[in-house]
């Protein structure tokens, strides 16, 4: 990437950071008795609150003012358009999840985050994931590394599945019987070998935890682009390996994703997942 391109991306980052921090302050003003105005979207497990809508609207409006030619893919904006599937183009595109981990947010659990990724020519080039409750700001620009609160981060050095801790997103098994069978089958193939398992209910943070070495792998199917657009770039810039859960190349717009601290560890998980998938 040229110096000019890097400077442009840094300008985007400098503009976006105050917006994200302000949005985080908005979340911190909420107290335990406030009405979040929770609504169901596609199912009881797919929720949206007043603050999801409010933060996404704020971010998109501010970005559009400064970058009127850019495109936007927002979780709540997409949900409002019935039978609409967003398409990624070569135009600069901001992919926004105003609150990733809405179910945690509704339960007043401080494991949720504002997530914004930027693509140019369909390539991930910038990512921000911010958990205001933990005061943790993850950032990355392509080819410039990944950072947590301004300090460079890297994935763990764990290369053996027996020593690894995985964030295995079991909550997604509730989507359907088919997904339940898939998740439980994969779990059966790894549970006796791994060192530990976690399930945080927030894709953006789960992947960022791989980036900073808190866990060694993350796996989830049936996600959306806004869940992973920022975090997968952050993990990649931290040295992580990102691939489709089936072993195919990772597709941002159809993210079934395995994120691991390195390829050697990813291959061990993929081997076991492949055996499990043959049963489904």
Q: What is the pLDDT of residues 142-193, one digit of tens each?
A: 999 999 999 999 999 999 999 999 999 998 998 899 999 999 999 999 999 9
What is the per-residue DSSP string for 159-215?
--GGG-EEEE-GGGGGS-HHHHHHHHHHHHHHTTTSSEEE--S-HHHHHHHHHTTSS
138 & 210 share domain = no
Report the catalytic residues.
Answer: 75, 97, 99-100, 102, 227
55 & 100 share domain = yes
How many Å apart are CA 153 and CA 149, to the nearest integer? Answer: 10
Residue at which a domain ends, from 152, 183, 217: 152
Flag whether 75 is marked binding. Answer: yes
How many Å apart are CA 250 and CA 50, to the nearest integer? Answer: 32
Flag whether 35 is marked binding. Answer: no
Residue 207 has pLDDT above 90, yes or no: yes
74 & 117 share domain = yes
Flag whether 99 is marked binding. Answer: yes
Residue at which a domain ends, from 152, 171, 190: 152
Q: What is the pLDDT of residues 13-71, one digit of tens each?
A: 999 999 999 999 999 998 777 788 888 877 777 788 889 999 999 999 999 999 999 99
Q: What is the pLDDT of residues 72-85, one digit of tens each?
A: 999 887 766 666 68
Residue at which a domain ends, from 105, 121, 152: 152
Q: Which domain holds residue 177?
A: 161-277
Q: How many domains does the chain have?
A: 2
54 & 101 share domain = yes
């Amino acid at each position: 990437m040229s110096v000019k391109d890097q400077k442009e991306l840094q300008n985007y980052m400098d503009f976006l950071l105050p917006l994200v921090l302000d949005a985080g302050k908005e979340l911190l003003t909420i107290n335990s008795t406030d009405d979040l105005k929770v609504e169901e979207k596609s199912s009881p497990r797919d929720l949206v609150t007043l603050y999801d809508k409010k933060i996404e609207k704020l971010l998109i409006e501010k970005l559009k003012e400064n970058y009127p030619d850019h495109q936007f893919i927002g979780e709540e904006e997409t949900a409002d358009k019935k039978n609409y599937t967003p398409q990624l183009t070569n135009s600069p595109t901001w992919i926004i999840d105003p609150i990733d981990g809405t179910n945690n947010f509704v339960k007043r659990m401080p494991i949720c985050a504002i997530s914004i990724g930027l693509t140019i020519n369909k390539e991930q080039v910038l990512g921000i994931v911010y958990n205001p409750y933990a005061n943790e700001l993850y950032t990355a620009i392509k080819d410039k590394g990944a950072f947590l609160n301004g300090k460079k981060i890297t994935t763990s050095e764990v290369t053996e599945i027996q020593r690894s801790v995985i964030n295995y997103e079991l909550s997604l098994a509730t989507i359907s019987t088919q997904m339940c069978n898939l998740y439980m089958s994969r779990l059966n193939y790894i549970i006796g070998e791994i060192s530990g398992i976690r399930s945080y209910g927030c894709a953006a943070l789960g992947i960022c935890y791989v980036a900073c070495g808190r866990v060694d792998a993350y796996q989830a199917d049936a996600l959306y682009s806004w869940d992973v657009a920022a975090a997968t770039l952050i993990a990649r810039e931290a040295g992580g390996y990102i691939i489709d859960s089936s072993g195919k190349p990772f597709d941002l717009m159809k993210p079934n994703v395995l994120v691991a601290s390195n390829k050697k560890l990813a291959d061990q998980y993929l081997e076991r997942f492949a055996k499990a998938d043959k049963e489904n």
